[in-house]
Structure 1
Amino acid sequence: MADKQDLNAGFTGTPVEQPEGLAKAAQSAASRVKREAYAVTAGARDHPHTASALLLGIGIAAFGFGYLLGRSSAESSASYWR
């Protein structure tokens, strides 16, 4: 086995200069998105039936909305090309 001194996997510390401006905003937004995603997954893990019913309801509503948009688009474009 290799000694600890032989293992050089690269930089694993913290940068000397903290991010500023756009980099700081992007890092902050990414951490907020990670926290919200964890909260959603934790909620879905605690209440699986509610989460599946919610996803099914959103899917049905999205399908219905797309169907209605498609029908209205087909009806209006038919008279346009005549």
Structure 2
Amino acid sequence: MVDKKDLDAGFTGTPIEPPEGLAKVAQSAASGVKREVYAVTAGARNHPHTASALLTIGILAFGFGYLLGRSSVESAPRPYWR
């Protein structure tokens, strides 16, 4: 038969000791990322036209940079071992 003490062994709360070292750094970084994501989404929600314009400009800039990068690879001389 299963003892009641075995059933109460699961973790159901928060740790007693605060995180230290790498766990503390990871928790702090995750908290910072969450705050920044919330700030960006709140700004986009308040200014939808500006957000869509910035997104469009970003996509166009990425595409232009990709095309420039591809053209420079194609025009570069091939290494001698190929």
* Common fold: TM-score over 0.5: yes
Gaps in structure 2 of 5+ consecutive residues: 1-7
Distance 1:36 1:25 in 2: 17
Query: Shift of the alpha carbon at 1:72?
Result: 1.1
- Where do residues 3-22 of structure 1 align in structure 2 (5 Å cutoff)? 11-22=11-22
Counterpart of 2:26 in 1: which secondary structure? helix
Give the AA of the match of 1:20.
E
Name structure 1 gaps, 5 residues minimum: 1-7
- In the other structure, the counterpart of 2:42 is 42
Q: Does 1:76 align with 2:76?
A: yes
The CA deviation at 1:11 is 4.0
SS at match of 2:76: helix
- The superposition leaves residues 32-79 of structure 1 with CA deviations (integer Å, 9 ceiling, x where unpaired) of 00000000000000000000000100110110011011011101146x
Q: TM-score, normalised by structure 1?
A: 0.78
> Where has structure 1 moved over 6 Å in runs of 4 or more?
none
Q: What is the number of equivalent residue pairs in this alignment?
A: 72
TM-score (norm 2): 0.78
